[in-house]
A and B are shown apart, each in its own frame.
Chain A
């Protein structure tokens, strides 16, 4: 059976989890993969918990259901750990990546006995330092690419430069900050 990497995103409406999911689909696509990227379907409301998914594979993906046993989970907001069962079905061979100022060890208790890898990233500090504002999705994208290793670091960054050049053609001044945020998050993600 074809190996498909499955990723589940947990965020809050308005934090850009869906955008990060789309960006991840984009970069994986650009490296020649087959991809799926889709949000949990429903009315989106600012602040409400939302879920989004990625499937990434070297071969065509035909499954059209949600993801119940992900290889990786990304939590864009650590306040969700209290209210959402973020590790549900998560593979112990995989990892959970959480945006938090806390250390991985401090979060184990909230993860219902999850025995796999717990990785953390302080997306707020990185975002504020590099972009002057809190956009957690770009650091989270860097972190999940690093943790999954679905593509080479340099190839990923080169691709993102191109992608940002296109996306921010009307405000090129933000490109450097975004790239810096990606680089830093790839270096600073803990628990690898």
Chain B
């Protein structure tokens, strides 16, 4: 079952897009996501896909074109990174507020300034409240799989929200690794045709999109949008289950690795989870009770489930590859701790690490030092420092 291949995370995204064969792709190149439209445009040139490829003049236009296309009744996709995503900002909200399930591959990169092209999560974390569903991916495989599930999730009638599939720029986007691809016909069967209920180019029942929404109505629309994001959780689980049936690869809202009897656990996103698994294995060999929780679904945030999963630990380090610059910890940290608080889970000691900003490599030793600190906290119950920068030079 499946096709054994090897390719980079960017190529995996482009291949997923090829197999999805969307109606419209509008994109503007920016490192490290450039390869996605680059690979994809060769599929367009070769006639492998039927997609209308729009080589726009900016990311602002890329998202505008996607919004227009999606409103017209098309499946629209794009890819970007860092400042490209930032330039899309106002349109991100228009896509979600207009309930248009555009799909975007975010190849995570640090936001300038100072200028940096390497990986962290400051781009997608800035967009975490833009009303987009956000899925994070540890590997090329997970990025590919998340991409294939994105349309089913976003286009579901109870959701109708845009979806952002994130993976780490360079670390997975430019690394060749093994991957198992799915056959074209299986994907076609799984994703199905896009049949929007209302769309601009419906000659029988045309609509108007994007009206002025004043005081009497805007608030009600936001309530609907908020509910759609809540609904997304069940839809994601449902789609993920169906995906597992055809691929044998099952995902949840988050992955738990060696957590069952763990005393200390790390919570983090994307590629560093792989390094953390390696460290967990090594420490387990020494009899240390450590584990990992890797959120896949960050928006909607799985409040109940994650709080429940964390309740069994004595100490927890939530690691953020983006600083919120709020003097109160990174975005994942504040979401995790607030989830725990509202579920009444106050026993575990929780600390925050900001790590890997601007592509600073995260070594197995770095992760090990976090676990050592956590095990110490688990033993003594004493926390020296809640907010930490992992491995920054003194």
Q: Point out residues on A near B: beta carbons under 8 Å.
A: 1, 22, 25-26, 29, 34-39, 41-43, 60-66, 68
Contact = CB atoms under 8 A, between A and B. Distances in A.
B38 interface: no
A61 B275 CA distance: 9
B239 interface: no
B241 to A, nearest CB: 23
B88 interface: no
A63 B278 contact: yes
Given A60-B178, A65-B361, A66-B361, A42 B281 contact: no
Contacts of B175: 36-38, 64
A35 B118 contact: no
Contact of A65 (B117, B118, B281, B364): B364
A62 B277 contact: yes
Tell me if A's interface is mostly helix, strand, loop or mixed: loop
B285 A64 contact: no
A42 B274 contact: no
Interface of B: 6, 32, 117-119, 138, 168-172, 174-178, 271-272, 274-275, 277-278, 281-282, 285, 359, 361-364
18 contacts: A22-B176, A25-B6, A26-B6, A34-B178, A38-B174, A41-B32, A41-B117, A41-B169, A41-B170, A41-B174, A43-B117, A60-B178, A61-B177, A63-B274, A64-B138, A65-B275, A65-B361, A65-B363
A24 B41 CA distance: 27
A64 B117 contact: no
A64 B271 contact: yes
Nearest to A26: B6
Given A35-B6, A36-B175, A43-B117, A68 B363 contact: yes
Nearest to B281: A1
Given A37-B175, A37-B177, A64-B271, 8 more contacts: A29-B178, A35-B176, A41-B169, A41-B171, A60-B178, A62-B274, A64-B362, A66-B361
B275 A64 contact: yes
Contacts of B281: 1
Nearest to A39: B174
A117 B102 CA distance: 55
B275 A36 contact: no
- 4 closest pairs, A vs B, by CB? A38-B175, A41-B170, A62-B274, A37-B176
A41 B282 CA distance: 27
B87 to A, nearest CB: 21
A53 to B, nearest CB: 9
A35 B362 CA distance: 20
B282 A1 contact: yes
A62 B174 contact: no
Contact of A64 (B6, B32, B172): B172
Contacts of B285: 1
B275 A62 contact: yes
A181 to B, nearest CB: 23
B117 A42 contact: yes
Most buried by A among B6, B32, B117: B6
B276 to A, nearest CB: 9
A132 to B, nearest CB: 29
A11 B174 CA distance: 18
B362 to A, nearest CB: 6
B171 A64 contact: yes
Contacts of B174: 38-39, 41
A41 B176 contact: no
B275 A63 contact: yes
A36 B177 contact: yes
